[in-house]
Amino acid sequence: MAKTAEAPSATPAGTGAVLSSGKKPMGRRVKEFFVDFGRQWELQSMILPGVVFMFIFCYIPIYGLTIAFKSYTVIDTIDSAPWVGMDNFKIIMSDKYFWDSVVNTLGISFLKLAIGFVIPIILAIMIYEVSFGRFKKFVQTVSYLPHFLSWIVLGGMLITWFSTTGLFNQLLLSLGLISQPSNIMLDPNKYWWIATLSDIWKEAGWGTILYLAIMAKIDPTYYEAAKIDGASRLRQIWNITIPNMKMIISLNLILTVSGLLGSNLDQTLVLMNSQNREKAEVINSYVYRMGMTQGDFSYATAVGLGVSIVSVILLVTANKVTSKLNDNQSVL
């Protein structure tokens, strides 16, 4: 294992050292490589277990993606399954349930993007503007907390809050906004909003950390100068704080856009029920259902592979677009 993993790297690693001392014959470079390698056996013995790990747990599954082009059944191994070319992908194209899940994934993701992306920025600026230290700390502590709850816990909480006798209905009843309690978890038309808003509730505070860290580095003299010029607080935010965060906002945007299709599986599995399924099923939960519960491994893998490819395309496109906006500086 060690040897085979090493061999291809001999040339690239060797060239750097050799460039300055002129050209050496290939055989000598390879020999030098192994001499060095032997001298560094202690360091190599630290790295190689990691390399073996990555080979097994990351690269073998990447190889396993080939079953997307095969017809895999439980009696097969990945290698013995017969090739079927693009057949699985052809079936996907005419699969209504798949397209439903695409619509739901995109719908929920765009809602999360449209609302959930801006809220942490606004929230971070609001926290940054607080000058009362203790209150600031308190708000931060509280806002990070939901991030540490699992989706299972939060799912359980949501089901309790929205039950007919739960907090949500009690609040609305006491405010006189509704006359009859109802369980909105069972209403498919509300599901996108439940998924979006619960995700924002959980992650908005956490999302402020990076922004706050960047803002802490802004030179305070900018604000002093703006104040002397008579700029209002909102003006200062608009002309100093936000431009200083442009880079990190773009980076976050790229990462969010590239993750558009990877809607939260944990969230879906716990919030989905037989009533709201048609609006709740996302691509990932569909992969789970087709593969793990219905045993159609090849088909589920094909769906997953398609999603990964689209995600990479999104990542590259988002990076291109935002680098245009950032004066041609690539963020990634």
Partner 1 sequence: MNSKAAKGDWDSRIFDAINIALLVVFTLIIVVPLWNVLVSSFSSGRALAEGGFIFWPTELSLENYQAVFRDDGIWQAFFISVAKTLIGVITHVFFCAMVGYGLSKRYVRGRKFYVTMGVITMFFSGGMIPTYLLIKDLGMLNSFWVYIIPALLSFYDVIILMNFFRNVPDSLEESAKIDGGGDWRIFLSIFIPLSMPAMATIALFNGVGQWNDFMTTKLYITDQSLYPLQMMLYEIIVQSQTQSMQNAGSVVIETTTKGVQLATIVVTTLPIVVIYPILQRYFISGMMLGAVKE
> Considering only residues 124-183, where is the footprint of partner 1 by CB under 8 A?
126-133, 135, 138-139, 141-146, 148-153, 155-157, 159-161, 163-167, 169-171, 174, 181
Site string for partner 1, 236-255 (x = CB under 8 A): x-------------------
Q: Identify the three-state secondary structure at position 70.
A: strand
Q: Is 97 in the site for partner 1 (CB under 8 A)?
A: no
Query: Rounded distance, CA 13 to CA 224, Å?
Result: 51
Q: Is 83 in the site for partner 1 (CB under 8 A)?
A: no
Helices (H), 117-241: 118-129, 133-144, 151-162, 167-174, 191-215, 220-228, 233-236
- The set of residues, in sequence order, having a beta carbon less than 8 Å from that of 167 and lying 6+ positions away, is 160, 161
Q: Is 36 in the site for partner 1 (CB under 8 A)?
A: yes
Q: Which position among 26, 60, 114, 313 is part of the footprint of partner 1 (CB under 8 A)? A: 60
Query: Rounded distance, CA 238 to CA 232, Å?
Result: 10
Q: Given the rule CB under 8 A, which of 88-96, 98-106, 225-233, 322-330 is the region that contacts partner 1? A: 225-233
Query: Rounded distance, CA 75 to CA 154, Å?
Result: 39
Query: 318 near 261, Cβ under 8 Å?
Result: no
Q: Given the rule CB under 8 A, which of 45-53, 85-93, 94-102, 187-195 is the region that contacts partner 1? A: 45-53
**Min dist. Cβ of residue 107 to partner 1 (A):** 22
Residue with tokens 């491994």: 297
- Which region, left, alpha or beta, applies to residue 258 given φ > 0 means left and ψ of -120 to 50 means alpha? alpha
Residue with Cβ nearer partner 1 (97 or 135): 135
Q: Which position among 18, 29, 30, 44 is part of the footprint of partner 1 (CB under 8 A)? A: 44
Query: Rounded distance, CA 56 to CA 172, Å?
Result: 54
Residue with Cβ nearer partner 1 (107 or 166): 166
Q: Is 294 in the site for partner 1 (CB under 8 A)?
A: no
**Min dist. Cβ of residue 51 to partner 1 (A):** 6
Q: Is 209 in the site for partner 1 (CB under 8 A)?
A: yes
Q: Is 223 in the site for partner 1 (CB under 8 A)?
A: yes
